[in-house]
Amino acid sequence: MTENQEVLITIEQGIMSITLNRPEKKNALTNEMYQSIVTALKHGASDDQVRVVLFSGKGDSFTAGNDIADFLKAGGTKIHDLAVGKLILTMESYKKPIVAAVQGNAIGIGTTLLLHCDLVVAAKESRFALPFVKLGLCPEAGSSMLLPKLVGYQQAAELLFLGEPFDAEKAEKMGLINRLVDTKEVKLQALALCQKLTALPEDALLATKALLKAPEENLRDRIFKEFKDFDRLLKSKDAKRIFQAFLAK
């Protein structure tokens, strides 16, 4: 697994930490940084020691979004062939839980990537923005589908059409983030969530994420899919151990 100094990667106690380390540029993302993140995520997906992924940023920003100068170097390259496109697709299909620790600004893809995270802890002073239309672009990372599902059409239209910044309190009310904390507590609280996740039965956790992320279907089909997973997990070592411990009380 490769690493550059602008993306720091550690694996400890089941948690893969991916830290954006370009604070002098507000953690603006370059193609090389995207590639490093993709490489790390793919490693984490196949490494049994990794149970959960934690995203964070050094300094006073989560990320200012794409480094525009670097992004323009790509010229006419199709977005899905760029590392940013590969990151989006990797996160969309990622089977292990992803937690984000957000402080300061989360602009553009800094906001849309949160839609692919499972749990988000943010500082009370955090700011978010989706300025794609203002830049002459359209939404990315599936946000044109995921955001309306999360906040409703009218709210999503306002956020995406106007691209105006919004604060952490609004983000929490919309359901974009799980917990609002003081800036100094962001990483600690996110790490605490990761630790709780690593303590859970892994198969049950992965099955639950897969069910939550599954394509929409009719309710009866979903119930039968749950039946199948429930039956399988009921026979697992984790479930048997937990039930035996409960009965032994």
Rounded mean pLDDT, 167-192: 97
Predicted TM-score (pTM) of the model is 0.92
pLDDT in tens, 23-34: 999 999 999 999
Which range has the worst mean pLDDT, 14-23, 86-95, 223-232? 223-232
CA-to-CA dists, residue 68 to 25, 37, 108, 209, 248, angstroms: 11, 18, 11, 34, 60
Specify the pLDDT at position 217.
Answer: 79
Tokens of 225: 């899919």
Give the strand pairing for 7-12 and 15-20: antiparallel
Instruction: Return the CATH number of 7-198, one of 3.40.50.620, 3.30.70.20, 3.90.226.10, 3.20.20.70.
Output: 3.90.226.10
Q: Given pLDDT bands bounded at 50, 70 and 90, which one contains residue 3?
A: low
Instruction: For residue 4, give the DSSP letter.
Output: B
Which residues, 6 or more positions from 237, have their beta carbon under 8 angstroms from its beta carbon?
Answer: none
pLDDT in tens, 107-154: 999 999 999 999 999 999 999 999 999 989 999 999 999 999 999 999
Q: Where is 90: in which H helix or E strand?
A: helix 83-92
pLDDT in tens, 222-239: 888 888 888 888 899 999
Tokens of 243: 């039930």
How far apart are the C-alpha atoms of 194 and 52, rounded to whole Å? 6
Q: Is 70 a residue whose pLDDT tops 60? A: yes
The partner residues of 18 in beta bridges, in order of sequence, read: 9, 55
Q: Is 77 a residue whose pLDDT tops 90? A: no
Average pLDDT, the chain: 94
Length of the chain: 249
Q: Is 46 helix (H, G, I), strand (E, B) or coil?
A: helix
94 contacts 45 by C-beta, under 8 angstroms: yes
